Copies of this chain bind each other. A is one copy, B any other.
Amino acid sequence: MAWKRPARREFLKGSAALASGLTVGALAPDAAAQGPAPAASPGSAATPMLKDTSELIKYGDRSKYVTSVRIPHGGRPTPDTFGLTFHVATPLQDSVGVVTPSSLHYYATTRGSFLPDIDPRQHTLMIHGLVDRPLTFTMDDLKRLPSVTRLHFIECAGNRSSPRAKNVQESHGMTSCAEWTGVLLSTLLKECGLKGSAKWFVAEGAEEVKGASSMPIAKAMDDCLVAYGMNGEAVRPQNGFPLRLMVPGFEGIFHTKWVRRIKVVDQYHINYNDFGHLDQDAKEAALGYQIGPKSVITFPSGSQRLPGRGFYEISGLAWSGGGAIRKVEVSTDAGKTWKVAEFKGTPQRMAHTRFGLGWNWDGKETVIMSRCTDELGSVQPSRVQIAEHFHKPADPSFSIPGLDNSIMPWHIASDGSVTNGLTA
C-alpha cells in the first residue's frame, strides 16, 4: 500500500461534490431511518427499462450511456482512405483495470477500410524453412495442442508523446492489453524440428504489404505464441482472426495478424515492410524490438477536468518489453518529489499494470507525471534525459528518434482543467 490512508471521511472532505450538498453528505433523518422499501429509495420513483432482446440475450452490448470509442490516431489518414495504412487508438482516458475490451483494442493495418474475412475452417499455418519436417496446422490441430493463457500488451512503435496530443488517447492510445490464449511457437517448432542453422524467423499474415520482418529464433523459442483466443473468445477480425502471432514486448508490427506462414531462416532480412523505422542492419534493428519501460497517467489526463480540490486517486498504466513492472512512481509537483504508487494486482510480464496513488489536490496549478521501473531495473526516462543522450536541446519540438518511452506530464490548471504538459 503505497498511498497513505487518510483518516475516515477524509477522502471526500472538501470536495465540490460534498460542498454542493447534492451528493455525498448527510441524509435527512427521515430518509436515513427508513427501511429498504423500494418506493423510499432515492431517485428510484420510476426506473426506466431496457428491452432485453433475443439478440442481446445471446450476445450482449454495452449501455447506450457508455460512448467511449476508438479514434484514428493523430496524423494518420482517416479510416475512410482505402488502401492506406491507418491506426485506430484505444480510449485510455476511460480505461479501468488492465484488460482492454476487445471492441476497443487498438489496431493498425495497411488494409484501409478492408480487413481479411477469414473462414477459420479454411485457415492454416504453415511452418517451413530450416526445419526437419515442414508442417501445416489447421485451427483444429492447434486447439488440440498444449495451450497457454497470458496477459500481454501490444504497442505500436508510433505511440509517442507529442506536444500536439490533446489527450492520452492521442498520445498513448496505440497500446492495449488483452488475455491471449494459444500455443507457444516453441511447441510448434519442436514438432517441426529446428535445424542447427536456424537463427531467425519470418512471419507472414494475410496482409500482403506488411510484416514479414525478421525476428530472432531465440525469441520464438522463448515466449512467442500463436493466439486463437483473446479475452475469453476468438481473436477479433481487427486483431487477426482466426490466428495472430504474439511476440511479447516487441513493437506491434511484429505481432503478425491473420498469420498463415512462418519461415525459419539463417540470416536477417526484411521484406514487404512499408515502415522506415526498421533497418537492414540486424544489430541496429534489434534495438527497436523491445519497448518500454513506459507508463502514463490515464486519470486525470488531457481534456479531463477535476471538479474541485480534494481527494482523487491518480490512476494509470505501466508496461515494459523487458518483463514485469517492479515500481511506479508518481509526482504531483512537476517532478520535484516522487511517491511510490500502489499496484492494482500482481504485475504480469509484458502486460499493462494498473497503478494508483491517492492525492489530495489543493486546487493550485501543478503538473503530474509517472515513471516506472521494470524487472531489469530499467527506469523510464524523461524527455530531457533522452535529449541529453542525443546531445539535443530539450525543447518541446525535440523529436525523439526511434521508440519513445518518455515520461508524459499532464498540466492541471487552477480551474481543474487538464492539458498536455509538454506544451504548458
Distance (whole angstroms) from the CB of A296 to the closest CB of chain B: 16
Distance (whole angstroms) from the CB of A114 to the closest CB of chain B: 4
A148 at interface, CB cutoff 8 A: yes
Task: Say yes or no: A136 contacts B25, CB within 8 Å.
Answer: yes
- Interface flags, A16-34, vs B, CB<8A=1, else 0: 0100000111110001110
Please provide the chain A residues from 113 to 170 with a CB less than 8 Å away from any CB of chain B in the complex: 113-120, 122-124, 126, 128-129, 133-138, 140-141, 144-150
Distance (whole angstroms) from the CB of A4 to the closest CB of chain B: 11
Please provide the chain A residues from 358 to 409 with a CB less than 8 Å away from any CB of chain B in the complex: 358
- Interface flags, A228-262, vs B, CB<8A=1, else 0: 11011110111001100000000000000010110
Task: Say yes or no: A36 contacts B149, CB within 8 Å.
Answer: no
Task: Say yes or no: B57 contacts A88, CB within 8 Å.
Answer: yes
Cross-interface CB contact of A101 among B128, B187, B232, cutoff 8 Å: B232
Residues in B neighbouring A114, C-beta threshold 8 A: 49-52
Task: Say yes or no: B191 contacts A11, CB within 8 Å.
Answer: yes
Distance (whole angstroms) from the CB of A74 to the closest CB of chain B: 15
> In the assembly, what is the distance between CA of A330 and CA of B79, in Å?
49
Residues in B neighbouring A268, C-beta threshold 8 A: none
Cross-interface CB contact of A236 among B3, B62, B206, B354, cutoff 8 Å: B62
Task: Say yes or no: B66 contacts A233, CB within 8 Å.
Answer: yes
Which chain A residues have a beta carbon within 8 Å of chain B's beta carbons?
3, 8-9, 11-12, 15, 17, 23-27, 31-33, 35-36, 38, 41-44, 47-54, 56-66, 68-72, 79-80, 88, 94-105, 109, 111, 113-120, 122-124, 126, 128-129, 133-138, 140-141, 144-150, 179-181, 187, 190-191, 193, 202, 204, 206, 208, 212, 228-229, 231-234, 236-238, 241-242, 258, 260-261, 263, 271-272, 307, 310-313, 315, 344-346, 354, 356, 358
Task: Say yes or no: B313 contacts A17, CB within 8 Å.
Answer: no
Task: Say yes or no: B8 contacts A63, CB within 8 Å.
Answer: no
Known: A43-B122, A233-B101. A8 touches B190 (CB 8 A): yes
Q: Can you list 23 contacts pairing A with B, beta carbon distance less than 8 Å?
A: A17-B140, A27-B135, A41-B204, A41-B261, A42-B136, A48-B118, A50-B115, A50-B116, A50-B117, A51-B114, A57-B79, A59-B70, A59-B103, A62-B234, A63-B118, A63-B237, A63-B242, A68-B233, A97-B179, A98-B179, A101-B232, A144-B313, A346-B346
Residues in B neighbouring A358, C-beta threshold 8 A: 146
List the B residue with the shortest CB-CB distance to A139. B23
> In the assembly, what is the distance between CA of A260 and CA of B72, in Å?
37
Task: Say yes or no: A47 contacts B141, CB within 8 Å.
Answer: no
List the B residue with the shortest CB-CB distance to A129. B32
Distance (whole angstroms) from the CB of A81 to the closest CB of chain B: 12
Task: Say yes or no: B98 contacts A135, CB within 8 Å.
Answer: no
Residues in B neighbouring A36, C-beta threshold 8 A: 202, 204, 212, 261, 263, 271
Residues in B neighbouring A48, C-beta threshold 8 A: 116-119
Distance (whole angstroms) from the CB of A8 to the closest CB of chain B: 5
Residues in B neighbouring A79, C-beta threshold 8 A: 52, 54, 57
Distance (whole angstroms) from the CB of A205 to the closest CB of chain B: 10
Cross-interface CB contact of A8 among B109, B124, B193, B232, cutoff 8 Å: B193
Cross-interface CB contact of A27 among B109, B115, B120, B136, cutoff 8 Å: B136
Task: Say yes or no: B356 contacts A146, CB within 8 Å.
Answer: yes
Task: Say yes or no: B105 contacts A60, CB within 8 Å.
Answer: yes
Distance (whole angstroms) from the CB of A359 to the closest CB of chain B: 10
Known: A104-B233, A149-B345, A236-B63. A115 touches B52 (CB 8 A): yes
Closest 8 CB pairs of A and B: A96-B229, A50-B117, A58-B69, A32-B134, A96-B181, A97-B149, A149-B344, A99-B232
Cross-interface CB contact of A146 among B9, B120, B234, B313, cutoff 8 Å: B313
> In the assembly, what is the distance between CA of A149 and CA of B351, in Å?
15
